[in-house]
Amino acid sequence: MLTVGSALSGSARRMGLKKALIFGEHALTYRELDTHANQIAWVLHQEGIQPGQRVALLLPNGLEMAEIYFGVAKAGVVGVPLNLRWAPPEIAYAIANAQISLIIADPEFEPILSSLHLDQVAVLYTGSKGTWTERVARAPSTEPNFYEVQEDDPWVLVYTSGTTGKPKGAVRSHRANIMIALALASELGISSEQVGFAILPMFHVNSMWFVTLSMAIGATCVIYPHRTFHPHHVIEQVNLHSVNYGMFVPSLLTFLADAVESGKVRAEGLEVIMTASAPLDSTLRDRVIRGFPAARLYDIYGSTEYGAATMVRHSLHGPLGSVGYPTIGQDIKILDDECRPVVPGAIGEVYVRGPSLMTEYWDNPEANQSSFTPDGFLTVGDMGYIGDDGLLFLVDRKQDMMIVAGENVYPTEVEDVLLRHPDVALAAVFGVPDARRGERVLALVTVREGHTLDLDALTDLCRDNLADYKRPYRIKITPNLPIGPSGKVVRRLAKESWGPLD
């Protein structure tokens, strides 16, 4: 049975006392992780949470977050990880949209949740006497027998930044997530003898998949233990735990290359280096390959909705620009605006079909209809073409998406907040390169006729309604913005009008 809970149980039988997860000075064996997941499933059952209902997780990185992921899996309950960097209105939207039955939260978020007045939603705080922690400790440790989880049952509902406003919830099944683990392990040559590293926050699908992959094959996985991200801490963990595989966004690869060149990290340790989110330039790629001659460097293209769609292994002085061939079980096709196949080599919209795709967008029939084809292909709006050798090339990211410190940011979501201000007439948001964060968010706004705009008040509005990484680095007032034939602001031309970037 391809379910997340059964995958963990199988590894626990095989691996027993082997370390499954490491977080700072703490660790869990496979047997302990499996037992705790069973107890959590029983607590959810005792709370009256029925299979298929949704439980929000507002938790920082840690062993507890991993245990709860596997606990909801064994209970047949749907986990809804909430981004810790979201502003209160963003958290409130996800809780309401997902129709949350229970929130499991770290006590530090009690002030935020209290301010949202969620009277109809129960909250259990971890670490608080008499609530979550004590309940789990007293629960049965036996395998849950109150519901037989099916492969097609949803395991998680993960919110993606909205390309046209509000975020959409991607429903992902047990089978889809296990298939990502099996495909990556097979394609990358990862085994139970290795040590993985989940670097990003665990509310991200990236780290969720890394932990799932490691637990499914019986490897050990290190979870990044610091609340704030710093490259020095990443290098420290790689050395301390002799990490063999991990996902490093390009900005972090720069620090990794610096570290190996200065002798701060052992070159022979890393065996599989993965990157995603932004294209690699040839200089950085070659520095990594030279610095880690025993490692295999891969670029992976995917999304919350797709899983891992394509993959390419980089080589020294090799070609750049492609995101690779379809991973095991995935089909790729390129369609025009009428959903018709384009001629070979022509640019169109990328569609993916395969076993790791999400099931649907939660409670969003319009998005499902516009994103899925009748024969099961899915698009997230990326444009690209397939070369003569079958490699996929991307030519544009979906809907002007920006990637800030590894987080997806969509202009429309930021523009919607700017336009709430009564003195703003039009807004255009776009990204520019930034050496440290990948990109930074800039915004141009026009002022309503007869009004005066206070930029400090507009900045405050963004701070109150947007996660920190989504907030504009700078906001400028402009007399007008370029309007296209459809009556919409043309972001590309607006970006050109900004002038020299400082």
Mean pLDDT over the full length of the chain: 92
| Residues contacting residue 96 through CB under 8 Å, at least 6 positions apart | none
Average pLDDT rounded to a whole number, residues 369-376? 96
pLDDT tens by residue, 406-463: 888 888 789 889 988 999 988 999 999 887 888 999 999 999 888 999 999 999 999 9
pLDDT tens digits, 217-235: 999 999 999 888 788 899 9
Q: What per-residue confidence (pLDDT) applies to 486?
A: 46
What is the share, in percent, of the chain residues with pLDDT greater than 90?
74
Q: Report the pLDDT value the prediction gives residue 490, as an integer from 0 to 100.
A: 79
**Tell me, what's the pLDDT at 398?**
64
Tell me 410's DSSP state. Answer: -
Token pair, residue 146, equals 């109150």
Q: And the tokens for 308?
A: 């891992």
Q: How far apart are CA 439 and CA 404, in angstroms?
A: 5
**Confidence grade of residue 395 (pLDDT, cut at 50, 70, 90):** confident
Q: What pLDDT is stored for residue 399 in this prediction?
A: 63
Of the chain, the end-to-end C-alpha distance in Å amounts to: 55
pLDDT band at 355 (very low <50, low <70, confident <90, very high): very high
- Which 3 state secondary structure label does DSSP give 463? helix
Task: Report CA torsion sign: 229, 231, 232, 236.
Answer: positive
Whether 61 contacts 161, CB under 8 Å = no
With H, G, I as helix, E, B as strand and everything else as coil, classify residue 439: strand
Min mean pLDDT across 7-21, 143-157, 392-406, 407-421 is at: 392-406
Q: Pick the residue with more confidence: 215 or 449?
A: 215
The whole-number pLDDT of residue 164 equals 57
Residue 396 has pLDDT above 80, yes or no: no
Locus of tokens 């691996």: 15
Q: What is the pLDDT of residues 231-288, one digit of tens each?
A: 889 999 999 999 999 998 777 888 899 899 999 999 999 999 999 876 677 888 999 9
Instruction: Give residue-wise pLDDT tens across range 152-199.
Output: 999 999 998 755 568 899 999 999 999 999 999 999 999 999 999 999
The pLDDT assigned to 68 comes to 98
Residue 83 pLDDT greater than 60, yes or no: yes
DSSP 3-state of 341:
strand
Determine the average pLDDT of the residues in 48-62: 97
Q: Looking at residue 400, what is its pLDDT?
A: 78
**Residue 409 · residue 469 · CB < 8 Å:** yes
Q: Which helix (H) or strand (E) holds 409?
A: strand 407-409
Question: Rounded CA gap, 388 and 400, in Å?
Answer: 27
Q: Are 362 and 371 in contact (CB under 8 A)?
A: no
Helix, strand, coil content of the chain in percent (nearest 5): 35, 25, 40
Specify the pTM: 0.86
Contact 484, 490 (CB under 8 A): yes
Angstrom CA distances, 171 to 306, 325, 358, 363, stand at 11, 25, 6, 10
Domains and CATH numbers, the chain: 4-247 (3.40.50.12780), 282-399 (2.30.38.10), 401-497 (3.30.300.30)
